[in-house]
Amino acid sequence: MVRVARSDAERAAVRTGIAVGAATGAYGISFGALSVAAGLDIWQTVVLSAVMFTGGSQFALVGVLASGGLAAGPVAIASAVLLGSRNALYSIRMAPIVGGGPLRRIAAAWITIDESTAVATAQTEPRAQRLGFWVAGCAVFVGWNAMTVVGAVIGDRLGDVRQYGLDAAAAAAFLGLLWPRLREAQPIAVAVGAAVVATAFTPLVPPGVPVLAAALVAVLVGAANVFARPAGSPGGGGGGAPGTDGTVAAEVGEGER
Amino acid sequence: MTAWHIVLLASIACAAIKLIGYAVPPAVLEKPAPARIANLLTVALLSALIAVQTLGQGAAVVLDARVPALLVAALLYAVRVPFIVVVIAAAGVAAAVRALA
């Protein structure tokens, strides 16, 4: 970064990255509060935001622990990992943009999430893509971690969280992550099927397991590729980089601003 | 399993997933099925978590203040209200319903 003069495209990428970081950081508060409400302490909450650093998985982990306690630990871990599997797709996509040696890739992997990928793929120039990725990733990291601490401290002092409706806030937070993904028939069908399966399994199996059972809906529908858009999409909804472009772009477009 | 075990195991696993992507050849993305399943997996898990968080009470399925809260949240997302506002509003609805009940 010795070059001072930047093109308009690069300045736009920086601005978008910072804006996305500020908006995303704000809901780190809700994660911090929900995490301590689920029974984790402030330090455990801080480690989750710093090391795991992928919001959906963090919410999933504390969500399962909130309903099942420490006994649901293995299921909570499995939920978080499955939900984080999309980040591997983002990494594959970002690798050529990031370039560089092993150290740079490790740093890039740390901040490879919905938001940094979305900002990068929204740019057209290669330099702007790279800049957008790093600025958005770092801005979200700083904001998310700072606000997690704020939320954890506030949550710690609240006492009975149900009185403040924090349990409903968790469901609303998941809905906010899901909403931008419900653009086509296939994901909508999967969402409905997964909700039905999870609810039906709730009285039958230990807490957390219904969520994993619902994941099978995605595997079945995805493997068979049913409910795909019928006409006008060669390869049945496939393409160059299936899902990643549309999905993350939709998230920045609606979810974060 | 202590809370620290759970936190550390899950954190390291999720960080490792991100790293794996940088070691995988980009050709993987050209096969539609794995990418499609991974994206649908996100949808299924989020939807299942919503269902469990809204209707689950331990091993029971109950209808309580969380249901109207989630409906209000859906309505607000539909008219593009920002995430943090919706989350606070949902908590407010649930708290209000409980206070009145």
Q: How far is CA B69 from CA A108, B18, B47, B53, B80, in A?
A: 38, 34, 16, 12, 17
Bigger pLDDT: A106 vs A160:
A106
pTM, to two decimals: 0.79
**Residue A102 is assigned to a structural domain of this protein:** yes
How far apart CA A6 and CA A255 sit, in angstroms, is: 28
Region class of A41: left (phi > 0), else alpha (psi between -120 and 50), else beta: beta
How far apart CA A58 and CA A97 sit, in angstroms, is: 26
Two structure tokens written together for A183: 């653009």
A142 in contact with B at a CB cutoff of 8 Å?
no
- Which of A54, A93, A176 is the closest to B29 by Cβ? A93
For B36-46, write each residue's pLDDT tens digit.
888 898 899 88
Q: State which residue of chain B sits closest to A90, comparing Cα positions.
A: B21
**Residue A3 is assigned to a structural domain of this protein:** no
Res B32: pLDDT: 81
Give residue A256's pLDDT band: very low, low, confident or very high (50, 70, 90). very low
Residue A127: pLDDT over 60: yes
Q: How far is CA A247 from CA A168, B7, B21, B48, in A?
A: 26, 28, 18, 19
Q: Which of A167, A184, A226 best tests the B interface by mutation, with the highest count of B CBs <10 A? A: A167
Residue A234: pLDDT over 70: no
Enclosing H/E stretch for A236:
none
Which pairing describes strands B60-61 and B56-57: parallel, antiparallel, or unpaired? antiparallel
For A33-42, write each residue's pLDDT tens digit.
999 999 999 9
Query: For residue B14, which amino acid is it?
Result: C
How far apart CA A89 and CA A173 sit, in angstroms, is: 23
Query: Stretch A127-154: mean pLDDT, rounded?
Result: 94
A137 in contact with B at a CB cutoff of 8 Å?
no
B5 in contact with A at a CB cutoff of 8 Å?
yes
DSSP E strands in B1-101: the ranges are 56-57, 60-61
Full 3-state SS string of A182-217: CCCHHHHHHHHHHHHHHHHHCCCCCCCHHHHHHHHH
**Residue A249 is assigned to a structural domain of this protein:** no
Res A230: pLDDT: 55
Query: Stretch A231-240: mean pLDDT, rounded?
Result: 38
Q: State which residue of chain A sits closest to B67, comparing Cα positions.
A: A168
Query: For residue A99, which amino acid is it?
Result: G
Res A5: pLDDT: 63
A33 contacts in B (CB within 8 Å)?
A: none
Q: Does residue A119 contact residue A133 with C-beta atoms inside 8 Å?
A: yes
A164 contacts in B (CB within 8 Å)?
A: 91, 95
B83 contacts in A (CB within 8 Å)?
A: 23, 26-27, 173, 176, 255-256
Those of residues 22-81 in B touching chain A at CB distance below 8 A are 22, 24, 26, 28-30, 32-33, 35-56, 58-61, 65-66, 69-70, 73-74, 77, 80
Query: Stretch A221-246: mean pLDDT, rounded?
Result: 56
pLDDT, chain A, mean: 84
B43 contacts in A (CB within 8 Å)?
A: 178, 181-182, 187, 190-191, 194, 218
Q: Which of A124, A151, A85, A111 is nearest to A20 (CA)?
A: A111
Q: Does residue A223 contact residue A231 with C-beta atoms inside 8 Å?
A: no
B7 contacts in A (CB within 8 Å)?
A: 40, 44, 47-48, 61
For B17-67, write each residue's pLDDT tens digit.
999 989 887 777 777 888 888 889 889 988 998 999 899 887 889 999 999
Full 3-state SS string of A2-45: CCCCCCHHHHHHHHHHHHHHHHHHHCHHHHHHHHHHCCCCHHHH
Range of the domain at A89: 8-167
CA-based nearest distance B79→chain A, Å: 10
Bigger pLDDT: A126 vs A24:
A126
Whether residues A67 and B52 touch (CB distance < 8 A) is answered with yes
Q: Which of B84, B67, B33 is nearest to A147 (CA)?
A: B84
A254 contacts in B (CB within 8 Å)?
A: 80
Give residue A19's pLDDT band: very low, low, confident or very high (50, 70, 90). confident
* ipTM entry: 0.88
Res A110: pLDDT: 96
Query: Stretch A186-215: mean pLDDT, rounded?
Result: 93
Res B14: pLDDT: 97
Phi, psi for residue B61 in degrees, rounded to 5 = -105, 120
